[in-house]
Structure 1
């Protein structure tokens, strides 16, 4: 029973001036449930409405002080009737802890036995923690008290106003929607400071204390630098009373922007070494979540058709502010190489949608959940970058600031923002928005040649574009670069006759490239020798697109990797090429017969690069690529024994588990050796690494054990991922084939039982290997039956499109 748009509109017309007082009891002997007492006050303009509350037990209800004997509770909703004017509702219940990241997530750390509970919320998830009007346009102040183990620290949306033993009371928040509620309790290790008159902090599990201390100075500096930069960009001050950030276990999202306490998946605090690429990406996430304090938290969408108002803006600002504010260079390389390619793929599937769809196109919350995708994030980011390029930064920020001030602590729509931008500029922003935000798909920018060899830029599509075009001499040196506008009329470039020409060379717009034969030949010869990181990034992304669509054959792509991967000197781009090649290219563009050759080409390129580089960050990326692809069991075994590669790269815990998994895949590591590695590690990450390695062993028994473990009723989201991803082996289809069929049979029931977040995990575990025509047809048949839950159906339809 996902909340529908019609229900939300009707309830918003009946209910106003809402407030919550929430009292949580996290103590007691029951490890499976916690106590929740919630007092709601609101004005009722009609006699009937409902609250959401999922899977409560022992529920009691009182309305205006009168107990209600028959609550009408169906496991998801509480019916309220006889309402008139100002109303007080008190609900008491026991609520379940979860292990799937959707609700009050509970985890016992295998490293030290300590327990942590954290409320991770998102769409339709607040109701899994406390009774509420679970919709974004019914914002309310929230007052919270929590009873917890006296040894624990409790962190929430507001500052602590009192603490007596294990009882914590927090300041009432400004008006926020229920999905932005947060509470995190456990024996956290904390680093705190004050800045701009506010308390700040970073928190992590005790077993990650060394890692938090290792990164504390950088995390503090990144946070304060981003905070100060936003203060320069935005007229509205930071709207909340504190800024805590917490690395939590079991998060389904990369992070969640809950005000006062942003939560991150604790994989963002890696054990051992942190590479420059990881540091930069983490900074972009920190800046992204901070942007939400204004886009999403201060000003909130009215309904989920405007998800982009949150995510596109935060994605754009995250990369921008991480570089301009916090000083992490190369964020655009990460966006263009690792995020934007996925948006092009998403925009050619049947499930594509406008960046800003109409309200009626998002009829319920489950449908809205499926729009948290590469369109709303990476494509929306790219569209905003094009808007800033087309509009100018001053006008863009002027319009944005007017919008934020006009709608502070309220709800707003696309029309509200476009109106503010239109007022700030002489350009027709409304028409721009219709073409860029209200339409799905993308244009193509083609390079053609006239009879004299003059390159001519031609647009295939309807949108106006402004982007940089760069011309190159045959030796790879730059002959010229300029910003051009391309619309209906072709743009000739007479000064660059006979030269290779790369349009959108810095990625300012969102459009497919089609290069002329001369430029294509130039790219195959000179790609790794071009000096500009962004140009190389755009050209690699172009290769990803062409091999996916078949415009570039797999052998030619493999040759490109063989020639240009090992000399690549940007670690972020190198990582992106490896991830894309060993991910979607291997699983969707390569047949089973072609997979070994692709894997071996990557291994050879990584080995050659390692032999020829003295750049530590490049060497780490190449070593990880070789660890995932080498067939030399003796070499990999020596790496484990020595704790470093033969070229001197130390194995951090993540790389060590990559080696263990690869040895297991090769049949060179048995269960006893894997268990020894797990005990050596002694952490949650070690448990997950061991599960994946055990599943990767090339035996029927190992695959059967992994599948059985993945189907355990209460398997955690992280353990499910480890088991199933380890099971798939694109070079051993015979071993995996039974589990492709089993996955298609059992996954819908798992998704139905576990909900939205776990459905995402299940969908992302789709077989990463060649799927037979019969299996593809079965997938289509299951989807056609209508028995697949909404979130999983969206992901499976995407996979079906990719297979077709």
Structure 2
């Protein structure tokens, strides 16, 4: 296939034929606001002298092409996406000089002008195949090479790339010329450039290596200047340093990319990108207004996710996009794992269960679901595969794999994998091979069941009891939908919860682990004992499966039984099960709302609270009988204002409940309170009606047709003439 696409077969043939060695990339960012100069000098070998191949490039104009000193006619060799090269030698140097285009859509080199002060900010985003918009290259992950960037930029700018600065000079026109050191061998899609007059905070961190030596890692965090007053760089760098310590400790492989810069950039299409030495983040992770701790935890998780990629994805990279899931799943898993073991967010798996994993369950039950290991035929397939299956289901399944083989065996397998394949490319089989060695488990069957099939299983606990409530037989029943009938092996924990007879407080009365196989798995551990009030399958959330409760258990939840559970993970799993039962129409939307409104006030995990508030809105809008929605809306909005009134001043719950009340407003009295909040006529101790909250109120009034003053949003936008303000006004 020709044009902008690239097939797996074409990439495999090019990788067989060519070996990329070194890129010298020269960029001139002083030529105006639409295009920039790009010269790429590529050194590479060819296994079959005389053969033909091609270089990838997406640029509006090619000025010149030379191959081994011989000039080629750009009109003859460039077709708009490829530079075709014939008559290759054993060793080759190709030089391609082009005019490349700035992007306004987030691919390639994105250019942003800050409406606050007119400053220009540039950054790159390439995955899966947009580095060819910056410079000519072999755009596939398994043709790794060393990259050396030289960037000419305006004198008031700073420039960053993957490696540290080698030399800074000036050209004859007074522009600065930034020459960076060459990288280790990396893939094209993780090369990076950031440029502009960014506000930057610089520091360094020393990591003690196993041999007793010290590794000094320069670290920094940057943001555009107009966001500097809101930028808590110290908090960002604190998590960064904690992550560097932690990953060195568990991976036993020195950080391979010299420095660690974190750039928070505007108009970003993604959450973040793992460019080695220069990680880019969405600047939405810089909070202009008061937010909850869940937001800070989410940012820390993103930092840890991207840092895990330095080893799994950057040091060792997939051969082709079939195994995109592997690096993303590993990083998603490690993001939560690192928070638990290296930061104050020791309940990060609770947030994962109610956030990322909920995303996976949702996407896995859509008609568009697919196996974790997808068939990626070409780059267009790859672009479609950045979804909840690739990221969150994959991470959930890796958590199950760690439980299945044992956590120690899982981490030892990762360590061997990094050492064996450093700066190389791998497939899934390479990882399964080392994990089989460290665990002694046969993972081929496991892989077929978990990675090569789609869909999610449902687990139900069944217990027979005698007249005294003593269990006489118990089992787990596993099921699957007809479209995806695979019954998988599960390593799970089972928790039994009952009220203490003396105090009435609900307690964990027993917990045990077992392997679930096939349709029925016996539970002899429960036999001969009183049946617990709640038998919680998948306690500790080790596997990826929906759980379902008995009628008696659900009735108890409606009476406040979830709030009574002593453990945040147990509550998260109860909430997850209740949600699945609602979504699957096992129980009504009305009952779901009752469970939430009767339990949410006592829920301590703020990420769970915020997720429940989102689900409440979805149930009200989509799951209720339309005839019942007005009454439910009135009940819901009244309860949300009650929760706000009762929230501790300045607490995360106060913030969550005020946004819940704004989104849930439906009655005349609700909108009057919103107007009063906006005007400063209604105040809550500890609550600031800051810019984000003001916009939320204005948008709620407008959405309900209650904005009596048509100029309200225009006046607010005039007061908030920032990129965010313009986005809200639009």
Q: Same fold (TM over 0.5)?
A: yes
Aligned to 2:25: 22
Aligned to 1:462: 487
Aligned to 1:473: 498
Structure 2 distance, partners of 1:283, 1:636, is 32
Contact 2:326–2:394, Cα closer than 8 Å, also in 1 = no
Deviation, 1:342, is: 1.8
Question: Aligned to 1:201, which of 220, 226, 238?
Answer: 220
Report the TM-score when normalising by structure 1.
0.82
Contact 1:445–1:503, Cα closer than 8 Å, also in 2 = yes
Deviations 1:302-347 (A, max 9, x none): 0111112210100000011022112223211211111111211222
Question: Aligned to 1:263, which of 280, 297, 315?
Answer: 280
Report the TM-score when normalising by structure 2.
0.90
Deviation, 1:487, is: 2.2
Aligned to 1:176: 186
1:545/1:651 Cα in 2 relative to 1: closer, same or farther (>3 Å)? Answer: same
Aligned to 1:119: 124
Moved more, 507-516 or 282-291: 507-516
Structure 1 distance, partners of 2:369, 2:533, is 36
1:268/1:600 Cα in 2 relative to 1: closer, same or farther (>3 Å)? Answer: farther
Deviation, 1:411, is: 0.2
Moved more, 422-431 or 458-467: 458-467
* 1:724-739 correspondence runs (5 A): none
Contact 2:494–2:511, Cα closer than 8 Å, also in 1 = yes
Structure 2 distance, partners of 1:599, 1:187, is 49
Q: Structure 1 residue 307 and structure 2 residue 332: aligned?
A: no
Contact 1:15–1:44, Cα closer than 8 Å, also in 2 = yes
Deviation, 1:498, is: 5.5
Contact 1:249–1:266, Cα closer than 8 Å, also in 2 = yes
Deviation, 1:163, is: 1.1
Would you tell me which structure has more helix in proportion to its own residues?
1
Structure 2 distance, partners of 1:83, 1:625, is 64
Would you tell me which structure has more strand in proportion to its own residues?
2
Q: Secondary structure at the match of 1:247?
A: strand
Structure 1 distance, partners of 2:682, 2:271, is 30
Aligned to 2:565: 530
Q: Structure 1 residue 53 and structure 2 residue 85: aligned?
A: no
Aligned to 1:633: 671
* 1:405-420 correspondence runs (5 A): 405-420=419-434
* 1:340-351 correspondence runs (5 A): 340-351=357-368
Structure 1 distance, partners of 2:682, 2:56, is 53
* 1:255-404 correspondence runs (5 A): 255-357=272-374, 361-404=375-418
Aligned to 1:666: 704
Structure 1 distance, partners of 2:641, 2:54, is 62
Contact 1:565–1:605, Cα closer than 8 Å, also in 2 = no
Structure 2 distance, partners of 1:108, 1:319, is 35
Contact 2:158–2:196, Cα closer than 8 Å, also in 1 = yes
Structure 2 distance, partners of 1:671, 1:687, is 16
Structure 2 distance, partners of 1:480, 1:57, is 71
Structure 2 distance, partners of 1:426, 1:335, is 29
Deviation, 1:250, is: 1.4
Question: Aligned to 1:484, which of 513, 531, 534?
Answer: 513
Contact 1:570–1:618, Cα closer than 8 Å, also in 2 = no
Q: Secondary structure at the match of 1:41?
A: strand
Deviations 1:215-252 (A, max 9, x none): 12211111101100001001211111110001001111
* 1:411-450 correspondence runs (5 A): 411-450=425-464
1:508/1:602 Cα in 2 relative to 1: closer, same or farther (>3 Å)? Answer: farther
1:27/1:37 Cα in 2 relative to 1: closer, same or farther (>3 Å)? Answer: same
Structure 2 distance, partners of 1:496, 1:389, is 28
Aligned to 2:680: 642
Structure 1 distance, partners of 2:316, 2:683, is 50
Deviations 1:690-743 (A, max 9, x none): 22xxxxxxxxxxxxxxxxxxxxxxxxxxxxxxxxxxxxxxxxxxxxxxxxxxxx
1:462/1:8 Cα in 2 relative to 1: closer, same or farther (>3 Å)? Answer: same
Tell me, which stretches of 5 or more residues in structure 1 are unaligned? 692-804
Contact 2:498–2:507, Cα closer than 8 Å, also in 1 = yes
Tell me, which stretches of 5 or more residues in structure 2 are unaligned? 171-175, 207-215, 480-485
Aligned to 1:688: 727
Deviation, 1:13, is: 0.9
Structure 1 distance, partners of 2:294, 2:596, is 20
Deviations 1:175-205 (A, max 9, x none): 1111001101111000001112121100000
1:644/1:182 Cα in 2 relative to 1: closer, same or farther (>3 Å)? Answer: farther
1:671/1:64 Cα in 2 relative to 1: closer, same or farther (>3 Å)? Answer: farther
Structure 2 distance, partners of 1:396, 1:311, is 17
Aligned to 1:731: none
1:645/1:541 Cα in 2 relative to 1: closer, same or farther (>3 Å)? Answer: farther
Structure 2 distance, partners of 1:597, 1:95, is 58
Q: Secondary structure at the match of 1:143?
A: strand
* 1:151-162 correspondence runs (5 A): 151-162=156-167
Aligned to 2:173: none
Q: Secondary structure at the match of 1:528?
A: coil
Q: Secondary structure at the match of 1:482?
A: strand
Aligned to 2:11: 8
Aligned to 1:798: none
Structure 1 distance, partners of 2:17, 2:462, is 60
Structure 2 distance, partners of 1:163, 1:592, is 66
Structure 2 distance, partners of 1:93, 1:136, is 23
Structure 2 distance, partners of 1:49, 1:496, is 72
Deviation, 1:651, is: 2.2
Structure 1 distance, partners of 2:593, 2:456, is 27
Structure 2 distance, partners of 1:534, 1:377, is 21
Contact 2:465–2:531, Cα closer than 8 Å, also in 1 = no
Aligned to 1:186: 196
Q: Structure 1 residue 505 and structure 2 residue 510: aligned?
A: no
Deviations 1:76-110 (A, max 9, x none): 22211121211111111111111111111111111
Aligned to 1:550: 585
Deviation, 1:637, is: 1.4
Structure 2 distance, partners of 1:320, 1:600, is 41
Point out the structure with max Rg over C-alpha. Answer: 2
Aligned to 2:147: 142
Aligned to 1:33: 35
Aligned to 2:138: 133
Q: Secondary structure at the match of 1:99?
A: coil
Question: Aligned to 1:612, which of 620, 635, 646?
Answer: 646
Structure 2 distance, partners of 1:647, 1:656, is 17
Q: Secondary structure at the match of 2:335?
A: helix
Contact 1:450–1:456, Cα closer than 8 Å, also in 2 = no
Q: Structure 1 residue 75 and structure 2 residue 80: aligned?
A: yes
Structure 2 distance, partners of 1:40, 1:411, is 20
Contact 1:582–1:599, Cα closer than 8 Å, also in 2 = no
Structure 1 distance, partners of 2:478, 2:62, is 63
Deviations 1:473-514 (A, max 9, x none): 255602413132132332242224262211113211111112
Deviation, 1:356, is: 2.5
Aligned to 2:213: none
Contact 2:106–2:125, Cα closer than 8 Å, also in 1 = yes
Aligned to 1:220: 237
- Give the length in aligned residue pairs: 684
Structure 2 distance, partners of 1:338, 1:509, is 15
Q: Secondary structure at the match of 2:711?
A: helix
Contact 2:548–2:581, Cα closer than 8 Å, also in 1 = no
1:332/1:600 Cα in 2 relative to 1: closer, same or farther (>3 Å)? Answer: farther
